[in-house]
Amino acid sequence: MPESQNYNRSPIKTYFDLAQYKFGNDNKKLRVHMSNKLSLSKEFIKGLWENNPVFKQVLGMCPTLAVTVSAINGIAMALATTFVLVFSSFIVSLIRKLIPTQVRIASYILIIATFVTIVDLVMKAQFPELSKSLGPYIPLIVVNCLILGRQEAFSSKNTVLRSVMDALGMGTGFLFALFVLGGIREILGSRTLLGFQVMPDFYEPWLIMVLPAGAFLTLGLLMGFINSYAERKKKIEQASLVQDYLRTKGSLKTQQES
């Protein structure tokens, strides 16, 4: 192989070639090996956009719609949820082989409730005003389908490191969604962002944005925009694949004729 072609190859492809040489024709071992080596970062990244818990999976809608009157409320709720999600995933993955199948859901809820209690007590002691503004939605993290769903679908079936990375990715995606939703509602409904005025004095705040209807309206518009963008990106990628295929086919035909 010419030296110039070797430099143009991506690291992942080169690593795949090395792994293929190591495992030979054993495709099953090759797939497992590549999965273990290359997907740890993907476990984190997938929660940010591809499987975002709010915009893609539509999970945790109760706190998403209820507490995002302001960006700071959204950040606080997301951080509390992320803390519970990460440590619950850690514990569940650690003892997953010790939990009987018949009582696994009850066990998950007990573990989740333990960390929710810690978050609730700390917030009441250190951030009483913020805790008061969030109201009952901190204790209700116990029944958040995002957390319970990740324990059942992922943490109970994967290693500790992979489960923690998945929880961090989902928590970060949840934080992003609540911050965006809360920020838009705060700017349009109160002229501020994180307590700082960002809109001019002559701007008339939209009262609907601080009401429940504003949460549904903003979330619906955001999800519509995101789905439209994803569909457009998918069509562009498909068109690019078709062009690459036709280009490769034409190149091979030219080589055969010559």
CA 177/CA 7 separation, integer angstroms = 40
Q: What is the DSSP letter of 213?
A: H
Look-up: residue for tokens 């495992």? Answer: 23
Which segments in the chain show pLDDT lower than 70? 1-38, 258
Structure tokens at 176: 């992003």
User: What Rg value do the Cα atoms of the chain yield, rounded?
Assistant: 24
Q: What is the pTM of this model?
A: 0.78
pLDDT (tens digit per residue) in 87-146: 999 999 999 999 898 999 999 999 999 999 999 999 999 999 989 989 899 999 998 889
The C-alpha atoms of residue 12 and residue 188 are separated, in whole angstroms, by: 45
Q: Which of 127, 118, 135, 145 is nearest to 67 (CA)?
A: 135
104 Cβ partners below 8 Å, 6+ apart?
A: 152, 156
Q: Where are the domains of the chain?
A: 1-38, 47-240
Kindly report the average pLDDT of the chain as a whole number. Answer: 83
Q: How far is CA 16 from the centre of its chain?
A: 27
Q: What is the DSSP track for 58-100?
A: ---HHHHHHSTTSHHHHHHHHHHHHHHHHHHHHHHHHTTTTS-
DSSP element (H, E) containing 132 = helix 128-134
* φ, ψ (nearest 5 deg) of residue 68: -90, 35
| Interatomic CA distance for residues 205 and 207, integer angstroms | 6
Per-residue pLDDT at 31: 56
Phi, psi of 192 (to 5 degrees): -125, 165
